[in-house]
Amino acid sequence: MRQPLIAGNWKMNGSKSSAEALLNGVVAGSGGLSKTEVAVCVPFPYLHLGEQLLAGSSVRLGAQNLCTESGGAFTGEVSGSMLADFGCRYVICGHSERREYYGENEASIAQKLTRATESGLTPILCVGETLQQREAGEMEPVIAAQIDGVVERIGIEAFAGIEIAYEPVWAIGTGKTATPEQAQAVHAYIRGRIAALNGSIAEKLRILYGGSMKPGNAAELLAQPDIDGGLIGGASLSADDFLAICLAGEQLAA
C-alpha cells in the first residue's frame, strides 16, 4: 500500500501575511492526519517562513523549481542545496507551466531531477498532455516521450526517489477535471511503462493526480487504484479546501 501524498502547489500566489495564515491553517488542521503525507510547495521567498512555521508539524515543505546547475554564476537561480538548507523535502520539476512559458524540456528536466536528488530532495516530476494532443489520440505517445526522455538520461533506478504527477494540461486551473476513469487509465499506463523497466520501482512509485482537484472530486479520484495522491493548485490556496482533500486521502487510506 502506497501512502497517499497530497501536495499543494501555491504557484506565484500570496503575500507574506497570506502565506503565514495559510501555513498556520494547514498546520493547525493537519494534526490528526496520520496516514496521509501532506506537503506545501511555496514560492521561494516564503521558504524561510515555511521552515519556521512547519517546524514540529508533520507537514513537509517543498519548492516549485530549482536550477539545472548545482551552484555558481547563474544569476537569479536557486540551487537544490539551497532548498534543502531551508528544510525542503520536495521540489516540483517540469510543471506544464514551466514547460510552456520557460522552455523546459526533457533535457533540462532530467538535469533538475538529478540536482534535486543529489541535494537530498524528492522531485515531483509532472507529465501530461494538452487537450489538442488528447483529441488527436496522442496522449500515450506524449506521456511516453515525457517519461522516456527522462529515463534515458537519468536511468530507471532514479525513479526509486521520484514522485510522478500526472497533470492533464487541459485540467489545470480550468475547473475541468479528468474523470476518475480517465485519470486511472493514464496512471495505469504510466505505472506500466515504468514496470516494463523495473517492476519493483513501479510498484512503489507514487503517481499523483493534478488538475482541478477539489474537495468535491478528491475522494473519487483518490479511490482509484493507481492514484496515490494529488498535486493541488488552486484549492491549496484555501486551508479549508486543501485540508478537506487531505482528509479524503486519509479516509481512503484508513
Please give the Cα distance from 19 to 13 (Å, whole number). Answer: 9
Q: Among residues 14 and 210, whose Cβ is nearest to ligand PEP?
A: 210
Give me the catalytic one of 95, 97, 129, 250. Answer: 95
11 in a labelled binding site: yes
When the beta carbons of 62 and 233 are compared against ligand PEP, the nearer one is 233
Cell readout for 162 is 521520484
Residue 8: CA atoms inside 13 Å, Cβ hemisphere, count? 30
The least distance separating ligand PEP from the CB of residue 165, rounded to whole angstroms, comes to: 7
Residue 236 is labelled as binding a ligand: no
Which residues of the chain form contacts with ligand PEP (CB under 6 A)? 9, 167, 172-173, 210-213, 231-235
Contact 232, 7 (CB under 8 A): yes
Q: List the catalytic residue out of 37, 167, 187, 250.
A: 167
CA separation, residue 74 to residues 67, 71, 114 (Å): 8, 7, 17
Vertex 86: Cα angle to 90 and 208 (nearest 5): 10
In the complex, the smallest distance separating the C-beta of residue 56 from ligand PEP, rounded to whole angstroms, is 27
Distance of CA 42 to the CA centre of its chain: 12
State yes or no: is 167 an active-site residue: yes
Nearest to 208 by CA among 110, 67, 90: 90
Closest to ligand PEP by CB, 94 vs 211, is: 211
Angstrom distance (rounded) from CA 84 to CA 78: 11
| 212 annotated ligand binder | yes
Q: Annotated binding residue at 56?
A: no
50 is in an annotated binding site: no
Smaller CB distance to ligand PEP: residue 26 or 201? 26
Whether 106 is catalytic is: no
Distance separating alpha carbons of residues 215 and 44, to the nearest angstrom: 27
Cα distances (angstroms) measured from residue 7 to each of 13, 50, 101, 123: 15, 14, 22, 12
Binding residues: 9-11, 173, 212, 233-234
Binding site members for substrate: 9-11, 173, 212, 233-234
Name the residues annotated as catalytic.
95, 167
